Each structure stands twice: as structure tokens, then as C-alpha cells.
Amino acid sequence: MTNRIAVLGSINVDTTYHVTRFPQPGETISANDKSSAPGGKGANQAVAAARSGAQLSFIGMVGEDNEGKFMREALQEDGIDTKFLKNDPRHGTGAAVITLDANGQNDIMVYPGANFGMDESLLAGTEDLLEKVDFLIAQFETPQAVTAAAFKLAKEHGVVTILNPAPAKEILPELLAVTDVVIPNESESEVLTGIAVDSEEAMLKTAEYFKDHGVANLLITLGSRGVFYSTPHGHGIVPAFKVKAIDTTAAGDTFIGALTSQLRKDLSNVADALVYAQRASSLTVQRMGAMPSIPTASEVQAALND
């Protein structure tokens, strides 16, 4: 069965500067190389899900500029429906500047642009779409109020809502109330709850925190330690695949998109879906760039069969 997914999210054009090491405050260093590629957390997650066989629709905004045209075409190349990708006449397309060091670690500076030009009028006409999809995914590179309105609408149509609270910031209570699955990484989880996820006991305590705020399902990505999950079906840690990372950009986005492409709506297969998602993410970090590094279903299956 093919999962039908809508992503409400961010679109950025990524420019990556390749350096031997990160500069110190006030220091000027030379970049060894420079590259540009389509990206943004929302776009990356949509492409990851589409490349793993899901049927995708995208809800978002770009500027009336060449970058917006470039990003629209990039999504369409992966078979993603862009009917609800609107143009913002006031702001340029979102952009990110990424500094990547020789160890594959990065830091990122984002210009939100049209991503934060969204308001609830963007959702006009999306009811027909939400009647047909299984999952709606969103992140924090777009306004929370729009996400809350979209999730509320999605819940009215029986859609499973997935929130990736990145970059971490306080979550609106009304958004948590209509979120089915929350997926932070370990640092985001600590920012959101004040609980350091340094043990399974702490992770279970974090799961209780989110349950108390209305979210029944928690996944915490733990980098090289794997991923912790807590759902009504049980809890546990699925280990990561050991690989040599050369660029961690879009690793988390690949994980979320690939995971959602495999999940059943009742999350009964969460452990198996997590293994698939972990494998997909492990391939992404062995390649350069955001969207260009995201693997296809056949690549993930081949790696799982190795």
C-alpha cells in the first residue's frame, strides 16, 4: 500500500561552503569549495518520502523569483504535487548558508523569507487534499499558528499529524493538542522539556511529558546511538547503522520522510519502519548536499539487504 502524505513546510535554496574547520569568532578563513542545491526541512522531508515510494503533496510558499521557480521544479522532478505551493509577492524564497567541515559536521544560518510569509489563507482549498492523505508532516521553519490550523483541519479528516519541532522553540499548546507524533532530536528534546535524554529512563520521562501535553507518540533521534520510540504499542531503542559521515545535512529530514513513507497509520509497524528510516539516513550522510543526498527506495532496500 502506498502512503499518501502532505508536507506543510519550508523551502530553501542551500549554499554550502566547504571548510577544513569552523572559524573562531572574528576569524576569517578560506573555503575550499562552494556548492548550491535545493533544500529546506519541508522540501527535504517531502523528497525523502517521495523517493521511498510515497505519494506526496506540498503546502508552502516561495518567492516570485528564480529561486522559487527552481525549487518548484525540483519538487516536481520527484513527482511531488505542488498545487498548494504558492508564490509570496512580498518576500524572496527562503535560503540557507551551510558551513561544512572536514569531519562532515555543519552549522546552518537560515533566511526564512517566504516560509514565514505564510498565514492561514494558505490553507484555503486544502480540505479536498486532506480528505485523501494519511499523514501530514510539519516542522518549525514555518509559522506555528499555520501549522496548528492545518493540523486541526487534518484531525477532522482522520489524518495522522507528525511534528518535527526543529529548530527547537516553545510549542504552542494548541499545536501539541492536535499532534499525534512528535519527532525531536536529542538536543531539541532537552530544549523543549528540560529533560536531558542521557538514559532510557530519561527518555521514558520525556515520553510522559509529551503524553501529558496531548501527544501519544514520541520518537527521539539520538545520532550515532539510534532512535528511541514510545508509542501505545511499546517503547525501545533502534540502533543506528555505523557509517562514516561526510555531510550530515538533511540526515534528520531523510529519516522523517523515509519513516513516514513506511508507517502504518496506527503505528503498529513502528520498529520496522524505524530500521528502514535509519538505513535511509545512513546513506544520506555518506553523500554531499541536502536534497541530492537523499536515497531512493531501491537504494535503501539494497543497503538493508547487504
> Which residues, in sequence order, are CB contacts of 12 under 8 Å at separation 6+?
39, 40, 43, 93, 94, 95, 96, 110, 111, 115, 141
Tell me whether residue 60 is annotated as binding.
no
Tell me whether residue 12 is annotated as binding.
yes
What's the one-letter identity of residue 94?
Answer: G
Tell me whether residue 266 is annotated as binding.
no
Tell me whether residue 26 is annotated as binding.
no
Tell me whether residue 117 is annotated as binding.
no
- Catalytic, out of 253, 266, 272, 306: 253
Rg, C-alpha atoms of the chain = 18
Tell me whether residue 41 is annotated as binding.
yes
Phi, psi of 287 (to 5 degrees): -130, 160
Q: Enumerate long-range contacts of 290-293, CB under 8 Å, 24 or more apart.
A: 290/14, 290/37, 290/38, 290/39, 290/40, 290/44, 290/249, 290/250, 290/253, 291/37, 291/38, 291/39, 291/43, 291/44, 291/47, 291/74, 291/250, 292/37, 293/247, 293/249, 293/250, 293/254
Tell me whether residue 107 is annotated as binding.
no
Q: Is 253 a catalytic residue?
A: yes
Tell me whether residue 78 is annotated as binding.
no
Tell me whether residue 68 is annotated as binding.
no
Tell me whether residue 217 is annotated as binding.
no
CA distance 299 to 234: 29
Could you count the other beta carbons within 10 Å of the beta carbon of residue 2? 9
Tell me whether residue 257 is annotated as binding.
no
Tell me whether residue 279 is annotated as binding.
no
Q: Which residues are annotated as a binding site?
A: 12-14, 40-44, 141, 185, 221-226, 247, 249, 252-253, 284, 287, 289, 293
Q: Which residues are annotated as a binding site for K(+)?
A: 247, 249, 284, 287, 289, 293
Q: Which residues are annotated as a binding site for substrate?
A: 12-14, 40-44, 141, 253
Could you list the active site residues?
Answer: 253
Q: Which residues are annotated as a binding site for ATP?
A: 185, 221-226, 252-253
